[in-house]
Structures are given as C-alpha cells and as structure tokens.
Structure 1
C-alpha cells in the first residue's frame, strides 16, 4: 500500500544519489484508514522527517484536506481530478494526472493507482524512469512487477509530456548508500553478532524484526519461531541461551510486561538474554501504531527484587546495527539480561546511510571446558563464573530459579543468600568499565555553548536537524545523547553538565523520565523540559521553536 509506495519512491531517490528519510503514519485499524508516507531527500545526510511538504501526491480528497496545512505557495499537488481537487485558495502548483484512468486502461486494478502516483512524482522531479522500474522489480520480483511497471511508464510519460520537469533537485551526492529501518538494522546486526535463535510473538512496532529474520533464516542458519505468546517467546530464548546459542526476542511495552518474570529468571540463573523493546504509547494497548519514549522506567525496574541489567538506547540505524552487537557481547560476558530500547519512529522509519563497515568482535565470555570440580555459580572476584553448556564432557550443568549454592542447588541459607546477591552485584563495576569503552555518551554541536540539550533514543534525529536550524539563526547549543542508560554513566554526565549553564531535557513522554533518572543519579534537577506524548515524533522546526521558547523563558 502507501508504505510500499513511499519506500519505492524513497529508494528511487536513493538510487539516484540522494540521502533519504521516510516516516510512515498509519492507524491501528484492521479495516484500514488514512495513512501516509512522509519522504525527504537531500544531498547531505539527513536524520528525520520534516512537517513541510514540497510535493503532495494525493490519491483521494481526504489526503488533500488533511495535509494542505503542510504546503506553501511554492508546493505542488499531484492529484487525480476524478477523485480530488485542491481548495480554491491553494496558491501552489496543481498537477492533474488521471491515476485511476491510466491504471485501468492498461489492465490494472484501482488499488494499483498508487504506482501511477509514484511515477508522476518521479517524472516531476526529473528522475529516470529506468531507476524507478529497477526498484519496482527489486521490490516485487520480475513477474509481479510487470503490470506495475506498465502503469508506471504510462503515468511517467503522461506527466513528463504534459508538465515536464517542474521541480528541480540539487545535483546528487556521490558514494554508495543503503536504505533500511531501525528494525532491519537490528536484525542485520544480530545476525552479524552470531544470532542463532530468534523467538517472538508479533507486536507492533517490533514485528518487522520477526518478518525480516524469518525471511533470512535459511540463508544464515538461524532458527526463527513465532510461538503462541510473549511468555513462550522469552522462555524459548532463555532455554536456547542456556543450551549455548546466542538468542534474542523483540516486543513492545505490553509484551515486555508479560516477559518480566523471565527477565528475573535470567538474572537469577545468570543466563544471557537480549530483548529488544520497541516502544509505543501506552498503557495497555495505547496507540499501537504510533511512537513514544514511555518505557524507560519500565525496563529499568522490570521484574521483582534487584539485580544487574544493561539498558542501551540507539538513536539511528547505524547505532541500531552497532549497539545490538554490543548487547550480545555484554549479555554473554557478564551473563545477564540486556535490553535494547527503541521505538516506532526509529524502528519503522526508513533512513539512508553508508554501507555498514564497523563490526564488533564477538566475545562469548567465560566458557568452561570439562572439569569435574565445576561450580556454575563459583564465587569469583568479578562475579562472572564460567558457563558450561549441557553435554559438556564431565560437567553437570545446573540452574535454579531459587537462590542457590555455588553448585546450583537451592538453599534458603542466609549466609549463602548474601554471598550470591553480592556476587551478582560485584559485576557492576566491571560492566561500567566495559561500557566506558563503548562511547555511552555522545556529544554534538558547539563545545562552548551555554545551552546543553539532553535526550536519548530516536529524539536524536529531529534534534540534530533542529540544531541545523538553530545554527542558521545564530543560536548556539550542544547536544548530549545518552546511549547507555543502565548502568548510568554518572561521572561522564556530571562532568558534561557542569560545563554548561542551561540544561534542557527533551523526551517523548509526560514525566521526563530521563530527567528524573539524571536527578536520581547526579542530584541535578533539570527544570527546563520539552516533552511530547501525543504519539507523534518531534519535528525539527517544532523542536527549534520550542528550544527558543524555553531559552527565552527566564524561569
């Protein structure tokens, strides 16, 4: 549908030499509803969508009515006059293309008229029809693409003949580029990290990871399973890891709520697991197909009691690819659960980047060989006792959900209990030292700026674009992106904040969860906050205006 059409046009732009970003907005309705794709192209790398639209391709009147506010007097509307019409006061350029008529005349169905719209946009922007048809073939395959290509050529020729190239793009930038979503980058990174078992129950916006890995499982010798529930999924992952393979699951906040007991089981048995939590607005079902950053506190405190865990939040597709590899290493080196926190905006948006070249060397941690004196939970200085897998010669592998002795037998003994809790927590300083080498905090912008903007996760993209707007307006700011949220990089964050006079927290939730975490860890209260929690991502212009408003407010 619309998502596939938007992706095809975005990839055509990419193949033509441009950087692209694509955001897909759709309702959680089985019967369907209004949905749209915001695509953006540039000669420089771009990190988010924008609200303003230069070209609107409308398949119906509702599209024009809903999005006319995005257009300026220089914008174009490409529309089918049999289905829609711009308002009389629209001052931009009207481009009439009979999408439906073109589609039906060549034997297509009405639903295929979106390909006529994509081809009209391609003609209006002066891109080659051959580039578009190559992309269509790549997306649909040779047989399924034939009729789509016929429709595209007819619409392209009609538009080019009647209107010509009306919208001029800058000369493209050289160099090979790829386009993918955050979900796809995580899946690819997991494969690169040695993933061999993936189990997940479908839940928006994490489902595309399951779809991608299911399609690729035979190419990379991976077992991919869709079980009956999130509880089954995470327990299968725990069992696979206990058996000796790298395993992962992915879900959203509601599904993760069902997984919490197993997170505690992984902590108690010191079994490494990786869980991707793709956030959407809640509580309960919430707004299933929209975005938010509301689950930070959830993943920080999930499951009962207290135990070490790691939480990492990538901010773009490159970081998704890199951080998931780090997550697998950390999980196995320190034998604990690692949670990778993304959201719908990052997980499902298309972003172009250079081909991935950075690889994280696989480190499986301490693996025991045959030893008759093996103790699964041996007390050692760093808290990490060697793992052994079932069938290891001369070793009996025990695991227990109850507190246990070094050998793995359940015990209520008070002394043993204290020693085992201390053993698990003795990993923390070593984890912190390990993460220090992974750039847990990133800085962007003017080093000498008085203003420090603080954010995490997908907010990175719109914020980097907002900073470009602020630079043009001579507003100097610096941006601190906190990537590792647990263990929290307290000393680093304190040092950076100390060098700036004005602190501004920017998040996609109601309560400023990161700001609260910073106050908990550093004692610093961040009073200036820009928060959005309507299910939509920040846009660069909105952020730039909000930042200026906050800075003008002396309170």
Structure 2
C-alpha cells in the first residue's frame, strides 16, 4: 500500500492536535509526502474530534473517506466513523476503546506503556512513536520532533516523552512486519515546508507588505491573526485585537489612509458587521484586504465546520455600487500567491479585495517545496502630493492619484458623503453622476488583471466540471485518468471574464461542483455569461468533499 490514510479520533482536550502536529512533521522529515486535515466540534472539552493524516509515495492534497488505520483515543471514538470503517481497516488502541468497533482490531495498550514510563499523559507520545514505527519513519526524526514539541517543559519531561515514543516505536516496528505498507521515501522531502492554509494566507500577507492587522477572533479565521501575531516582531507588523468587528474594519481603512497596508481577517458572521465600513472604503476609494474564512451559516451555524456559502455575501456586501475583487484560493500555494497579489491590487485600484477561504482550506496542510519569491514585489501606488493635489481627480481609467497625509504638501480630503474631485461634500446631481461613473470605471480597468481559470484534465472534454476555491485538489484527484472529463477551476470569482462561456459551449455537459446549497457560483456564471449550468453537485452538511464521493457523483453525471 503506497498511500495510507490514518485517522485519530477522540475528545477535545485529549491532545489529538499535538499528535497530528508532531507526527506529520516526523513523517515529513523522514521523507514521506503527508497531508492532514481535521474536523472538530464547537467545544473546548468532550465531544468527538478527528484528524486525518495521509502518508503517501506521491504528493497528496485531498481528503479521502477511506480509513486504513484508526487510532481511537477514548470511549465512543469510533461511533461517528462507522460508515467509513471497513473490514480492512486496522483499528488499533486500548481494548476498551476498540472492542465495539468494526474492522480488524489490534490491541496496543498505549496507557499502560505510558504509565510504565511514569505518567498516563505520555500516551500520546506512545501513539506518535507507534505510528512512526509502523510506517517506517526515522527514529532520529521522531526524537527531534518530540524534543521540539516539549522543550519548553524541561529536560525531564522531554526525556520521558522520548522514552514513551521509543517504546511505541518498537511496538509499531513489530506490527509492521505483519502489515504490507509500502510507502516510499524521498529524501528531498525533508527540505520541504509543511504549511496549512492559514499560515499561507499569513505569509502571503507578509509578502504583500502587510504591516497592520486588526481582527475580532472568530473561527475559522482566527488562525491567521494568531500566525501574524506570532511573527509581528520579525516583520514589523502592528497587531490589534479590536473590541468588535466594526472597529476592526474601520481600523484597517484608517491604516491604509495613513500609508500602511492593512488586513482584516474574519468569518461570515463577523464580516456581516463590517458591511457599513466596506461601503466607506468604496466611497472614499480606500484599499482594503479582507480575509473571509467561510463556515456554515446563517447566524452561528456550524462554527467549526466548512462551507462555500459566503460568495454572495462578499459579492453583494455594502450599500451602493462600487467595484471589488474576490479571490478564492484552491490550495495552500494559491492562498499564498493570491493574498500577496491582493495587497498590490487593492493598492493599485483603491478597492476592497477579498481572499475567500474556508475552514477546510485554512486547517489543511501538506508538504511543498516552498514559494518562488523572485517575481514578487510590494507595489506601492501612492504619490507625494503637491499644493494643488486633487484627491479624486477625474481620470479616464477611474484611478485617481492617492496621497498620504503628511507625505507632500497637499491636503488629502476624504469623506463618506458624496464629494467632488477635491473631497468636498456635494449634493450637486451632475457631480454625483461623474463620481459614481469614475468609481465604476475602476471596475472595468481592473479586469485587465483577472486571474484566468485553469483547465485541468482532458482538453478534448465532453463533460466539464466547474468549481472554485478549496474544491480544487479533491476534484483533481477524483478525475485523474478519466477520459473526456475536465475541470475548469476559478481562483478569482469576481470579476469574471465573459469569454469563459467558450469553455461551456464546447462541452456536451457542464456540471457545477460547490460546497453550498444553492450553487452560488453557478448562478453568478449565468448572471455574467448567460449560460445556465443545470447539473450541480452540491454539499452543505458542514463537511468537505471527499475524493471517493466526488468520483461517485461524477460517474453519475457522465
């Protein structure tokens, strides 16, 4: 078996994330390709959370339903997974945790081994060591990562956890002699990075020159705020946890006005409170970068789950007409590059730019070679003003020179009321029309920088799948080797080039694949191009698409 799917299941507070964090790094440092994602309940303690880790001989970036190895860490930890457990699944752990489970059960007394070392709390390290030994990970990588994880707790704790991990490692090696896992190592992977979507968004913001971030914590967007806070001193970033979302959005508008490059990170319910400030950005023509990590709504919805339900929210938010850009990264790499681009586009066109992710993307991670930084630049588009500076000068492309207070001799006037070219409040009807038209011309001008959709699969397709955002990698894996099937994936969902209709007209059948209940993007495609995508694969139960279910549903429409 060259691709192994491992699932850890247990209560919140049992340390599943610690096992995931350490084990994935042990495997990566041993030369294995890894992918990991999690689903968790909205509670601090109790409930049931799971983490899936795929270990493979090739690059893997998608969730699968298949469970090859299941490690239950508590009673009832297998109940929600019964529909994914088969007779081939190895269910490994304490006898009392696995006795009710289907699958091939193998008793490994993690708790007893940990107690022999000193404390039952070391059971997670035993499990990490066991899985490392089972898969043939390097013992040195295991010791290094255990040391790194527990170094802040003192030498004795580190040594005890290493002993516990090595005891587990021996058990795993013993069992590996009876199981046919044949995942190949590639030494070059050791030098790759392991990143999740939230870290990629944060790094993209840094590469885009972000030096101010404000936010009010809200799952699943908070991880971006935390990442930037952790690295604020390294990159000169001012981090502000605002008193509420209204303040957070207004703060970044103020930051851009003063010459900084600001980011707000939020989720659907939080962004709903930011809409008035978004309109302010539209009226005063302020750049703004908004990271909107989607989760199921409406209202509180399922706060720790995933969905692609906020496209319409980002597209139509705010009162009045003003241009905006919406990116929807398909994977970790795109999360980095498109966030970096968002800052330059916001600055150049003086518009709000959204980076639309979701819980699945921000919480999933895998190994990758790193990013190409050679072509990336922080593009600043403000000017040094003169005494005769006109903030909202009427221009052919709609873009007026943007000044910064104190940089030059000019006065930089902005106002939320309608205003004339100088920034003075006006109620003149003709001026109103000129200013609205000027702002809307920017929306036409910025279409020159639309990120084109990617065609993946058979170029001579009969069936064309249309998708956006985080569905990219699962669909790619699902259609591998299929003749007559291709995927048209959009990483920019607004504005859309009308010429994309030519892709649809070539197909015998077009199918939209989306993680929402109404086919929001398919509806937007019809609005822009007139093409009606009737066939739709939609998912909105709070979970991401799996490769297997996509294969099944795609087969149904072929």
Secondary structure in 1 matching 2:404: coil
- Superposed CA offset, 1:26-76 (max 9, x none): 100133311110111212211211110111112123123332432333332
CA distance in 2, matches of 1:207, 1:32: 22
Show the counterpart of 1:153: 166
Cα offset for 1:360? 4.9
Structure 1 pair 272–359 and aligned structure 2 pair: CA distance change class (3 A): farther
| Structure 2: unaligned runs, 5 residues or longer | 1-14
Cα offset for 1:157? 2.5
Show the counterpart of 2:532: 525
Matches within 5 A, 1:161-180: 161=174, 164=177, 166-175=179-188, 176-180=191-195
Residues 1:431 and 2:438 aligned together:
no
Show the counterpart of 2:384: 369
The answer (yes or no) to whether the contact 1:52–1:71 under 8 Å persists in 2 is: yes
Pick the aligned partner of 1:485 from 493, 498, 511.
493
Residues 1:462 and 2:470 aligned together:
no
- Superposed CA offset, 1:71-125 (max 9, x none): 33333221112x32344863x3x33221111222222344x42222121111112
Show the counterpart of 1:401: 416
Show the counterpart of 1:534: 541
Residues 1:354 and 2:369 aligned together:
yes
The answer (yes or no) to whether the contact 1:124–1:167 under 8 Å persists in 2 is: no
Structure 1 pair 370–118 and aligned structure 2 pair: CA distance change class (3 A): same
Pick the aligned partner of 1:21 from 14, 27, 35.
35
The answer (yes or no) to whether the contact 1:186–1:209 under 8 Å persists in 2 is: yes
Structure 1 pair 323–40 and aligned structure 2 pair: CA distance change class (3 A): same
Matches within 5 A, 1:201-280: 201-280=216-295
Cα offset for 1:359? 5.0
Matches within 5 A, 1:334-353: 334-353=349-368
- Superposed CA offset, 1:363-408 (max 9, x none): 5353221311101111111111111111123111111001111111
CA distance in 2, matches of 1:344, 1:88: 29
The answer (yes or no) to whether the contact 2:133–2:171 under 8 Å persists in 1 is: no
- Superposed CA offset, 1:193-215 (max 9, x none): 11100111110000111111111
Structure 1 pair 339–89 and aligned structure 2 pair: CA distance change class (3 A): closer
Show the counterpart of 2:10: none
Cα offset for 1:477? 0.6
Structure 1 pair 375–121 and aligned structure 2 pair: CA distance change class (3 A): same
Show the counterpart of 2:457: 445
Secondary structure in 2 matching 1:351: strand
350-359 or 265-274: which moved more? 350-359
CA distance in 2, matches of 1:464, 1:61: 36
The answer (yes or no) to whether the contact 1:334–1:365 under 8 Å persists in 2 is: no
Pick the aligned partner of 2:79 from 65, 75, 79.
65
Residues 1:49 and 2:56 aligned together:
no
CA distance in 2, matches of 1:460, 1:145: 40
CA distance in 2, matches of 1:161, 1:171: 19
CA distance in 1, matches of 2:195, 2:505: 38
The answer (yes or no) to whether the contact 2:92–2:98 under 8 Å persists in 1 is: no
Pick the aligned partner of 1:113 from 123, 127, 130.
123
Show the counterpart of 1:507: 514
Cα offset for 1:169? 2.8
Task: Choose between structure 1 and 2: higher strand proportion.
Answer: 2
Show the counterpart of 2:437: 422
Residues 1:136 and 2:146 aligned together:
yes
The answer (yes or no) to whether the contact 1:241–1:273 under 8 Å persists in 2 is: yes
The answer (yes or no) to whether the contact 1:237–1:247 under 8 Å persists in 2 is: yes
Structure 1 pair 403–364 and aligned structure 2 pair: CA distance change class (3 A): farther
The answer (yes or no) to whether the contact 1:44–1:173 under 8 Å persists in 2 is: no
Cα offset for 1:168? 2.0
Q: Aligned Cα RMSD in Å?
A: 1.8
CA distance in 1, matches of 2:100, 2:176: 21
Show the counterpart of 2:106: 95
CA distance in 1, matches of 2:244, 2:454: 37
Secondary structure in 2 matching 1:463: helix
Structure 1 pair 532–374 and aligned structure 2 pair: CA distance change class (3 A): same
The answer (yes or no) to whether the contact 2:253–2:288 under 8 Å persists in 1 is: yes
CA distance in 2, matches of 1:205, 1:4: 19
Please list every run of at least 4 consecutive aligned residues from structure 1 whose deviation after the TM superposition is greater than 6 angstroms. Answer: none
56-65 or 521-530: which moved more? 56-65
Show the counterpart of 2:134: 124
Secondary structure in 2 matching 1:130: helix
TM-score normalised to structure 1 length: 0.93
TM-score normalised to structure 2 length: 0.93
CA distance in 2, matches of 1:363, 1:115: 43
CA distance in 2, matches of 1:62, 1:359: 51
The answer (yes or no) to whether the contact 2:135–2:183 under 8 Å persists in 1 is: no
The answer (yes or no) to whether the contact 1:451–1:478 under 8 Å persists in 2 is: yes
Show the counterpart of 2:4: none
The answer (yes or no) to whether the contact 1:399–1:408 under 8 Å persists in 2 is: yes
The answer (yes or no) to whether the contact 1:249–1:275 under 8 Å persists in 2 is: yes
CA distance in 2, matches of 1:88, 1:546: 28
Count matched residues. 539
CA distance in 1, matches of 2:479, 2:21: 27
